[in-house]
Amino acid sequence: MRNKKLSISIPASIVSDVPHLREKTSKVGSIGRTAAIFRVDEIIVYPDNPRVNQDADMNLIVTLLAYMETPQYLRKKLFTLKPELRYAGVLPPLRTPHHPLNSKMKKLKVGEYREGATLTRKKTGTLVDIGVEKPAFISNIQLPIDKRVTVRVTKVDKRVKAELVRRQEIQEYWGYTVTSEELPFGKMVKTRSFNLTIATSKHGIPIANATLEIAERWKKAGTILVAFGAPTRGLYEIAGQEGLDLKETVDFVVNTIPMQGTETIRTEESLIASLAVLNMQFHI
């Protein structure tokens, strides 16, 4: 079990360079899949262009990422029909531990964790849909309806009994959360108080030259942010819009793709390359 919280930050403009909703959806799907592969705990979407209103783009990204992270058996209950989800079918499956394939009650195991959505309140407890034929019963707790919860199966007989748990208690990777950040990048970094902040940039120092120093900080850090810019505006430019120097805003500015062969690298490309390098070096 990792005793650190790994966050990544991505700009709202990642979908602004593709005109069609289908392609935007596919791009966001690639980001969500990469985040799950490398066990990212939180995806922060931040505004990066103060000249335009980015609310629509941020809402699209957040909605698609949250939809991806939700187990399929809960999506109809927790998400209403939205224009942003028109092409949700192109989103790749995460296949993480909290997206189980089993939909049979008889195959449930005591001690198994499941994501659920509350269905009905009773005087003695709450019924929760956990993706099998019959709802699970949580005794002595009355929860709001249509609330997403994490549970542990405690008994499987004629009915399923379960108890509420915190996601942090689960040993396996249990998906990511999505945060829509109102503050621009620099202010977000300063207010969130991460123990370690790493910005990716082609103008940064090669990652190999900073490995030892980052490793020392990584061991001690409880909360880590790996930040990404946009293809048309890197993090130096994004921080500069706030009158900030990126080097003074974060702990490290690193180039994870030295000697790149293309003029620009898309955010989703930088994401998978950077997290792969960090995973190899620091076992994220």
Assign domain 105-167 to its CATH architecture: Beta Barrel (2.40)
Give domain 5-95+184-282's CATH superfamily.
SPOUT methyltransferase, trefoil knot domain (3.40.1280.10)
Residues in CB range of 258: below 8 A, 6 or more apart: 206, 207, 208
Two structure tokens written together for 237? 């430019």
What residues does 177 pair with on adjacent strands?
42
Distance (Å, whole) CA 211 – CA 218: 10
Q: What is the pLDDT of residues 65-81, one digit of tens each?
A: 999 999 999 999 999 98
pTM confidence score: 0.95
Residue 190's identity, in one-letter code, is: K
Structure tokens at 68: 């991806």
Q: Which two tokens stand for residue 189?
A: 């970094």
Q: What pLDDT shows up at residue 1?
A: 57
CA nearest 242: which of 178, 168, 191?
191
Q: Average pLDDT, whole number, for the chain?
A: 95
Mean pLDDT of 207-212: 96
CB contact at 8 A, 119 and 129: yes
86-139 pLDDT, tens digit per residue, is 999 999 999 999 999 999 999 999 999 999 999 999 999 999 999 999 999 999
Residue 3: what pLDDT? 83
pLDDT tens-digit series, residues 233-271: 999 999 999 999 999 999 999 999 999 999 889 999 999
Model confidence at 199: pLDDT above 60: yes
Cα–Cα distance list, 86 to 89, 135, 179, 203, 231 (Å): 8, 29, 22, 38, 26
Quote the pLDDT of residue 219.
94
Where along the chain do its domains lie? Answer: 5-95+184-282, 105-167
Bridge partners (DSSP) listed for residue 121: 126
